[in-house]
Amino acid sequence: MTTGLNNENIGKLLGLLAHDLRNPLSALHSNIGFLETIDGLDEDAREAIGDGMVSCDGLAHIIDNVELLGQRLREASIQRPRPAAMGLAQAASDTVQSCAAAAQSHEVELVIADTLRATDVNVLCDRDMFRKSLGNLVRNSIQLGGSGPIRLSFRSDDRHAVVVVEDHGPNPRGDLREAVFTVDGQIRAKTEAAGRYSRGLGLLCARLAADACGGEVKVVDPPSGQGNAFELRVPHT
């Protein structure tokens, strides 16, 4: 008897695992939230509760990536929504807000540059996939970007809008610049000092989500000349 482990079925199994993991996570999140409402808690107890909520946020992010990986494995049977116009500034702001708890736990600041905050550019892509891609880049910078601020900025050309995520961490060199967004690259990155390994396969999933919304991710030299930078490039209207 064969196991039936082809890409289609592995994708379905990952979807089931993501669904099954969300149920106990939701219960855990609710119970920790309840503890937060109890009067008379000392500072250590409140700090432990806060750490628990941050851990729930991190687990939710990993579960989202498991689901995304499953979707991409069974891509042929998934009908993705048509790309739709959305405001880039608001989408980026929403993504940064979703990463706020992780940034606070690492004691790093997330900064949206005026070039991004004030832009009125509309991009043409799937909103959910855009946020998953950018969110994974930001979370990698939170994880590995050191103690300095993480800065998101914007530029555009005739066809594409580009969000740049800068941090103060290591910048992959050589073939790892492209490989870091692949399965082999993430396996390799785990053992390399400048590998930028992401929890929850974050950089791999950043690429998968970017591909799904017609975009592209890459490692680039930071505009400031120090640290690391990622680019998420998507079509604009």
Which residues touch 70 (CB under 8 Å, ≥6 apart)?
10, 11, 12, 13, 14, 15, 17, 18
Residues 144, 139: Cα–Cα separation, whole Å: 9
Residues 200, 63: Cα–Cα separation, whole Å: 8
Residues 88, 109: Cα–Cα separation, whole Å: 21
Average per-residue pLDDT for the chain: 90
pLDDT, residue 77, reads: 59
pLDDT, residue 66, reads: 94
pLDDT, residue 56, reads: 93
Q: Is the pLDDT of residue 84 over 90?
A: no
Residue 7 confidence class, pLDDT cut points 50, 70, 90? confident
pLDDT tens-digit profile of 101-156?
999 999 999 999 999 999 999 998 899 999 999 999 999 999 999 888 999 999 98
Q: Which of 2-16, 84-98, 102-116 has the lowest mean pLDDT?
A: 2-16
Q: Which of 65-69, 123-127, 130-134, 221-225 has the lowest mean pLDDT?
A: 221-225
pLDDT, residue 148, reads: 87
pLDDT, residue 4, reads: 67
List strand residue ranges (DSSP E) for 70-195, in order: 84-87, 110-112, 122-125, 150-156, 160-167
Q: Is the pLDDT of residue 225 over 90?
A: no
Q: Which of 41-55, 70-84, 103-117, 214-228 has the lowest mean pLDDT?
A: 70-84
Q: Pairing mode, if any, of strands 122-125 and 150-156?
A: unpaired
pLDDT, residue 3, reads: 62
DSSP annotation of 75: G
